[in-house]
Amino acid sequence: MIFEDLSAFVAVARLRSFSKAAAELRIAQSSLSKRVQRLEHRFGVALLTRHGRGVALTQAGAILVHRAEYLIAELDAVERDVCAQMAVPTGEVRIALPPATGRFLASPIIEQCKNNYPMIKPLIREGTAADIHGWLSGDDVDIALIYNPECGPGFEIEPFLAEPLLLIVPARNVGTQTQGPYQKSYSIKDLADLPLCMPRRPHSIRVLVERLCAKHGVKPNIVYEIDGINSFKGMIEKGLGVGIFGYAGLREEIDAGKLRAVPFSSPLMNRKLCIAYPRRDDARAAILNVKTIIEQELGRLLNEGFWQGARRIREL
């Protein structure tokens, strides 16, 4: 069996279309069709049925695609592990970044890899903490930046910095365009009375706030659950509530006077930005080199004040 034929079949099955699969694989549709036909001839059974909207899997095709996806993933892992033994760091390194830092880290990471490790190919994904947890657990990324991770024993977790969380309020009273009646600082117990706009669980800030409030014997007054950062900012700008977030994720709106950040009196109101990667004795040199680059770029951003009030964990 030719491996390329199996990969071609999986692409057609995933996209439910010969034309889309041909475009993704950058081969002629006729060549792609021949690859699938070779597989059907080898197994002696139809794997796909064609219809007006594309293709559908037969029962045999569904069985094959399930097993083939596992085989392809294993062969990719073999390739990565073999490349790891080369003297020069090489191969793909899949990196996950949170939205607040992705915009400022992605390009320097890629540039440093290009200049210092040209045989490393960084592949960058951006997502929420919940997304990144899933990618790590599913072996979809090799290294990640994540806030307050709750990964299992199979992962190395290296805290890098602690970022204070702030109460985010409207910069102006929507009706009078004057500064709202907000205090200079707030306690954790005040969260029982403030109208909070919060993300749903398992967002790390939601989990942290609920844990701290429980320890102080209060329940946070969550009036709206907002998962998207743009919706979150819009709700607060309009005065529909207040939120909790770090400076880095809202720095442009705060600096532009659209939002205001009020500190908490408790030093417990902070989140930790960590570097996470699977714990393996044979960790590839490419991953470790990318980790060093990430640490260097995080240090640069920290020195430039990207995380207002943040401190390196080793300094705490």
What is the structure's pLDDT at 87? 56
- Which CATH architecture is the domain 3-84 placed in? Orthogonal Bundle (1.10)
- Which CATH architecture is the domain 91-160+272-315 placed in? 3-Layer(aba) Sandwich (3.40)
26-82 confidence digits (pLDDT tens): 888 888 899 999 988 988 999 899 887 889 999 998 999 888 888 888 888 777 766
Q: In the numeric block, which tokens belong to residue 137?
A: 């657990």
98-118 confidence digits (pLDDT tens): 988 888 999 999 999 999 989
Kindly report the CATH number that applies to the domain delimited by 162-270: 3.40.190.10
Evaluate if residue 224 carries a pLDDT over 90.
Answer: yes
Residues of the chain with CATH 3.40.190.10: 91-160+272-315, 162-270
For residues 183 and 270, give the distance between their C-alpha atoms in angstroms, rounded to a whole number: 19
pTM metric for this prediction: 0.66
Half-sphere exposure of 236 (CA within 13 A, CB side): 28
Evaluate if residue 179 carries a pLDDT over 60.
Answer: no
What is the structure's pLDDT at 178? 46
Which residues share a beta bridge with 275?
Answer: 145, 158
Average pLDDT score over residue span 201-229: 92
Residues of the chain with CATH 1.10.10.10: 3-84
